[in-house]
Structure 1
Amino acid sequence: MCGCWAHVRRKFNEALVGPAAKQPDSKEAIGLAYCNKLFDVEKKAEHMTPEERHELRQKEAKPIIEEFYKWIEACWADTLPQSLLGKALTYAQNQKKYLTAYLADGRIEISNNRAERSIKPFVIGRKNWLFCNTPGGAKSSAAVYSIIQTAIENGLNPQAYLEYAFRQIQLQDTLCIEKLLPWAEEIPVSCKMPNKKA
């Protein structure tokens, strides 16, 4: 299980209230700067292999995180626990085990922003699905939605992809389902969104 550094960064950003907190040497600004440094490391790793990303994180991100947690320990003495800064520090401290988990594997992302963006349409649209008549209907809707979102994540136009998949299902007596999955090499270029990598 992994934590999300974007949530930590957001909490320090929310603590930047008032002129004193907005000074570059304030604890709120320093906490935010640590988080930003970690995201800067991730920008460097954007096009790296998981192995290269893991190596970069060990070299650059791990020392930043170690320094960040030493800094948190030093902050407790004169920080009110219920202040916005106190809440940001407490969150980071309580989530340490999960926040540092991404260092162990280059395939793990530093934040869950991408996952949250992918479910945002579902969260917004759930009022429309409130009235599924049966649990089976709700389960079917969820399955279709999952297929559509997976197609989008793989750079496919969902409508073109579904039309292609349904056509293939109708045309073939024996079907190899692996060849119809959104990440399959057999998916034609006509199903792909422009300027997207599958």
Structure 2
Amino acid sequence: MTDYTYYTASTLDGFLADPDDSLDWLLSQPIDEDGPFSIADLMAATGVIVMGATTYEWVLEHTPDEPWPYPDQQTFVFSHRELPLVHPTVRVISGSPAEHRELLETAAGELGVWVVGGGGLAAAFAADGMLDEMVVCYAPVALGAGRPLFTRPFDFELLETARNKAFVIARYRVVGARGPSQ
């Protein structure tokens, strides 16, 4: 069975990016690349990457002279627009995550799916029953506004925490959507 993990960084007040989609708050924080919850460990367990159009466009805009950062994984970008394809492993798809479950799991093989973001896409995966865990690297920053970490009411169970330099990292199991009586 394919594991789906939303692995992301967030401010203490629950934002992925500021109102201008800047990640300056994140990129200025110290982290040990070989420390707990390292990106290398995540990538070794990842066969497919999924992201929304805004995330994809951010990567393209902020790394114009660099090669595609995920050449070893198939990347599926969820969008209703045409987007430039910058690497043979990148494919644009539209619709709900559930509509593409077989495609994603076949492409992942024995490995997992990394839901990069944003928060709306991660929430859509959770709503479709396709999000097992959420790993959030909390930075010691508050923005007051911006792109939210998660866009739907859901419950999570804390499984593990760690510290990696400036970040407190929390790993959660997705419990389910919050109902009106909860």
TM over 0.5: no
Choose between structure 1 and 2: higher helix proportion: 1
Query: Could you say which structure has the greater relative contact order, defined with CA pairs below 8 angstroms and 6 or more residues apart?
Result: 2
Structure with the higher fraction of residues in strand conformation: 2
For this structure pair, what is the TM-score category when the shorter chain's length is used for normalisation? Answer: under 0.3
